[in-house]
Structure 1
Amino acid sequence: MLRLVPVPMLQQGMKIGKKIYSDEGVVLLAEGVELTSLLISRLQKLDIGYIYVEDHLTEGIDIPEMLREETRRQALQNIRVNFQRLSEASPITGGYHHLGKQFSKVMESILADVSSQEDCMIMLMDMNTADHYLYKHSLNVCVYSLVLGIASGYTQDQLMVLGLGSLLHDIGKTQIPQKVLFKPQKLDDEEFRLMQAHAQIGFKILKDEPNIPLLAAHCAFQHHERINGSGYPRGIKGDDIHEYAQWVALADSYDAMTSHRVYRPAMLPHQAAEVLYGGAGTLYDQKKLELFRDKVAIYPPGLSVKLSTGETGVVSKIHAHMPHRPVIRILQDPEGAPLQAPYEVDLSQSLSVIIDGVLGD
C-alpha cells in the first residue's frame, strides 16, 4: 500500500505512508495524514528528497521497519543528548564521559531489533534532512553495519563492538565548527583539514573511555581509510584497516549518499550502490563490497520503475537471495495507459526483463 515518491512530485490529497521523524525520534508526520499545499511546502523546506505515500494501486506492499519505534526514539535521543554535551565541552583535553554506560543499553536494543529480522536487508531508513543529519546518520550507519556483521557470521560480542564503533564513528564531528560541518559550498583547504580531523578526534575521545572497546574507537579512527591508501588520517592500506572499520566505511558512504546534504540532494539506493561498486578493489575490499551488494535493497519496496518491456510499475517484494531482481507490480502498459488489472512480474524468474530506469530519478 506504499509508494516512494519524490517530494517535488507530491500532490495535494496524497496520504503519508510512513512516519517522518524529527532528530529526537519524535513523529513529525504520521501515517495517513493527508497532504495539503502547506504540508508539501514544509516537506520541501525540510529538504527531504522522497517520502512514502499510500496508494490503492499498491495495496499489500509493505515497507519493512529495521527498528521498532521505541528503539529508534531512545537511540536518537541518546545520540542527541550526548553529542550535544560533547559539543559544549572539550572532551579531547581529557577526562571520562561515561559513553560506554550511556550507549551500551541502547546498543543492546538496536542489536536485538536488527538480529530479530528474518533475512535482514539494508533498507532505506529515515529520509535524512540536512538539519541534525549527524544524529540520524550515526544510527543508520550502525544499523547497516550490523546487517553486514550478521551476514559475516559475527558473534554477539563482535556485533556489540561493531555496533558501538559504527554508532559513534562520527563522534569527532562534535568538535568541528558548525559553519564547517554544514557549509553548503566546497570546503577550502583549511576547512577540509578541519573536517578530516574528526576521525582522529573521535579516536581520542573513545580510546580511553571505560566500556568502549578499543576496536570500537578504531572504527572512528579508520572509517575514512581506503584500501589503496588514499584515505585519511593515516593513509593506511588493505588489511591494515580493521575489518570493522571497513564495514563502517561502506555503511557510512552509502548512508551519506542516500541522505540529503547541505551541498547536494539525496541519491536513490541504486545510484549510491553504483558509486560504491565503482570503488571495488581500489577504495573498498572486493569481497566486502560483494557481500554489501547481496544485502542492500537497491530497489526498495514502493519504488516506481520502468522495465525494459516499456511497462512501468512499483517494486512490491525483495528477494533476500537476489535483491537486485525484485518483484514488480505492473501498473501501466508500454504506452503509459493504466492497467485495469495490475499484475506482478518476478524478475528473479523473468531473466530477460530488466529495470530500465527509476521514475523520478
Structure 2
Amino acid sequence: MSDVARGAASKPRSDPPPEKSRAAAPAPPPPAEAAPPSEDTELRVPARPARLNLRALATMAPPAAAERDEQPPADRRALDVDADNPFVLLERLLERVRPLVKTDDPFPWDELTSIVDRLVSASTASAELFWLAHAAMPPAGGDPIAFHQARVATLALRIGANHGLEPAQLAELGTAAALLDVGLWLLDGAARRDMQSPEYRSHPRLSAELVHRWGPPSDVVVQAILQHHELEHGQGFPRALQRQAIHPYAKVLGLVDRYATLTGLGRTRARPHEVIRDIVRSKNEEFSPALVKALLFEISIFPPGTPIRLNTGEIGRVTGVNRNHPLRPRVELVADGKGQALPAPRGVDLSETPFLYITGPVTESR
C-alpha cells in the first residue's frame, strides 16, 4: 500500500446494526507461527461473477448485457464529512491509534469492534457506503495510512458481504483490513515510498506483531494481516506463500489493498478501468481469478461518471453499470461520431443495443 490516500464520505444508513455477542478469544499465537487455513475455509464466491470473461475484459471486447439493481452515487467527487459516518469514524479512530505503535497503552478494541459492526451492517444493506468510500478523496491534514486502512476495510466488507461471508467472518475481515498497515507507522517516509525496499517489505510482519501485542478478538486477524501481501504463485512477501497456504481473508485484503492504493492517490489516482485491466492482464496471476471476478462483480470496469467512446465514434459518459457484464453499462451520449455536440444528451442502455459497445475510455468528454 502507498501511504498517500485519505478521504471522507457522507452519511450512510442510520439504522443501528443488530447486536452481536462475541466471545473473548484467548491470546493468539505469534504471527509467524499461524497455521495456514484448510481448503474448506476458502472464500465462497457465487457463480454469477465466475461467468465474467477475463480475457474479454482485458481486450475490451463487448460481452452480453445484464442489469444491475443498485447504482453507485452519480456524484463521485469528494463528499462532505459527516461525524456519524462509520467510514469517517474508523479513519479518525485509526488516527488516534497511531501513537499506540510506540507505547504500551491499551488498544481500544471495543470502539473498533463497534465501528466495524456498523460497517458490516451498512455493507450488507446497500452499496452506498462502498461507493462513498470508493469516491473519497484525500483531505488535507489527515493521516494517509489511517485513510487507506479505513478505505480498504469499507471496500473489502462490501465485496465479502456480496460473496458469501457471514457477519462474524465479515467482522474478522473488517478488523484485519482496518489494521493491515499499522506497521508502516514504524517506518520513515522514504521507506514507505520504496515498495521494493526490505524495510517496506517488513511491514506485514511489523503490523501483525503490533496487532498480536494488542490482543485482537481473533487470531485469524493476525494471520490475515501477516499474509496480505502474499500472492497466488509465491511472488509475494514476507513468506512467499502460495495458494491454499494463504488465508482467504488475506487474499481479499491483498486484492482490495492493491485496487485501493492505485485508485486512491489523489491527483495521481488511476481510473478504475485502468487498474482492473492491469490486474486482469497480469501474466503471473498474482490474484485468484475467482476473486478478480468477484471484484468486477461489485465495482465494474466502467463506473458511473467514466467518459467513454463507442464503436460508432460517439462520445458519452457512463450513468449506470450492469453488474454481471461491466463493459455494457447505461450511457449518456453527448457527441456524435464526428465529435460534434448533440443538441441534447441521449441515453442508451448498451444491454439493449448489441451492435453498440464501448471501445475504450476517453480523457475528456466533448
TM class by shorter-chain length? 0.7 to 0.9
Counterpart of 1:330? 333
Residues 352, 122 of structure 1: alpha-carbon distance in 2 compared, 3 angstrom cutoff:
farther
**Partners of 2:232 and 2:242 within 8 A in 1:** yes
**Map of 2:60 onto structure 1:** none
Shift of 1:272: 0.3
2:262 counterpart residue number: 257
Displacement of 1:68 after TM fit?
Answer: 8.9
Please give the alpha-carbon distance, in whole angstroms, between the structure 2 residues aligned to 1:79 and 1:26. Answer: 16
Name the aligned partner's letter for residue 278 of structure 2.
V
Mapped partners of 2:81, 2:153: distance in 1: 15
> 1:45-89 CA deviation, whole Å, 9 max, x = no partner?
xxxxxxxxxxxxxxxx83489999422321221111112x135x1
Aligned to 2:214: 209
Q: What is the match of residue 345 of structure 1?
A: 348
- Offset at 1:138? 0.8
The root-mean-square deviation of aligned C-alpha atoms, in Å, is 3.0
What is the CA deviation profile of residues 214-243 of structure 1, one whole-angstrom value per residue up to 9, with x for unaligned ones? 111122101100110110000111110000
| 116-125 or 347-356, which deviates more | 116-125
C-alpha distance in 2, partners of 1:281/1:349?
A: 36
- 1:151 and 1:167 mapped to 2: Cα distance? 19
Residue among 109, 117, 122 paired with 1:108: 117
Indicate yes or no: 2:69 matched with 1:86. no
Q: 2:362 matched to 1:359? A: yes
Query: Does 2:140 match 1:137?
Result: no
Q: Kindly tell me: are residues 141 and 24 of structure 1, through their superposed partners in 2, closer, same or farther at Cα, counting changes over 3 Å?
A: closer
In 1, the alpha carbon distance for the partners of 2:328 and 2:128 equals 16
Deviations 1:107-149 (A, max 9, x none): 1222222222069976733134797332221111111211221
Q: Which amino acid aligns with 1:155?
A: E
Deviation at 1:24, TM superposition (A): 7.7
Letter aligned with residue 358 of structure 1: P
CA distance in 2, matches of 1:336, 1:146: 41
Between the two structures, name the one with larger relative contact order (CA 8 Å, sep ≥ 6): 2
Distance 1:67 1:216, change over 3 A: farther
Deviates more, 1:341-350 or 1:64-73: 64-73
Distance in structure 1 (CA, Å) of the matches to 2:246 and 2:81:
33
For residues 349 and 25 of structure 1, do their structure 2 counterparts lie closer, same or farther at Cα, with a shift above 3 Å needed? closer
Does the Cα contact within 8 Å between 2:310 and 2:359 map onto a contact in 1? Answer: yes
Give the drift of 1:96. 6.1
Query: In 2, distance between residues paired with 1:300 and 1:62?
Result: 9
| TM-superposed deviation, 1:281 | 6.7
SS at match of 1:300: coil
Tell me if structure 1 keeps the 8 A contact 2:156–2:174.
Answer: yes
What's 2:293 paired with? 290
**1:99–1:214: structure 2 CA closer, same or farther, 3 Å change rule?**
farther
Match of 1:302 in 2: 305
- Give the letter for the 1:301 counterpart: P
Residue of 66, 76, 84 corresponding to 2:91? 76
Q: 1:207 to 1:67 in 2, by over 3 A?
A: farther
Q: CA deviation at 1:274?
A: 0.9
Displacement after TM superposition at 1:154 (Å): 1.0
Following the alignment from structure 1 to structure 2, what is the Cα–Cα distance between the partners of residues 74 and 288? 28
Aligned residue runs from structure 1 range 230-249, under 5 A: 230-249=235-254
TM-score normalised by L of structure 2: 0.72
Contact in 2 for aligned 1:227/1:285 (Cα 8 Å) = yes
TM-score by length of 1: 0.73
Contact kept? 2:6, 2:264, Cα under 8 Å: no
Give the strand-richer structure, 1 or 2. 1
Alpha-carbon distance in 1 for matches of 2:283, 2:252:
13
Change (3 A) 1:24 1:346: closer
The aligned counterpart of 1:19 is none
The worse-fitting range, judged by mean Cα deviation, of 112-121 and 279-288 is: 112-121
Per-residue CA deviations over 1:164-185 (Å, capped at 9, x if unaligned) read 111111111111112322x4xx
Q: Count residues in correspondence.
A: 293
Cα distance change, pair 246–68 in 1 and its aligned pair in 2 (3 A): farther
Unmatched segments (≥5 aa) in structure 2: 11-72
Equivalence for 2:177: 166
SS state at 2:323 partner: coil
Q: For the structure 1 residues 216 and 323, does the alpha-carbon distance in structure 2 shift closer, same or farther, using more than 3 Å as the test?
A: same
Cα distance, 1:23 vs structure 2:
4.9
2:201 equivalent among 196, 205, 227:
196
* Contact persistence 2:212–2:222 (CA under 8 A): yes
Compared with structure 1, are the counterparts of its residues 296 and 121 closer, same or farther at alpha carbon in structure 2 (3 Å cutoff)?
A: farther
Match of 2:68 in 1: none
Gaps of 5+ in 1: 1-21, 28-60
Q: 1:112 to 1:66 in 2, by over 3 A?
A: farther
* Residue pair 1:305, 1:312 contacting (<8 A) in 2 also: yes
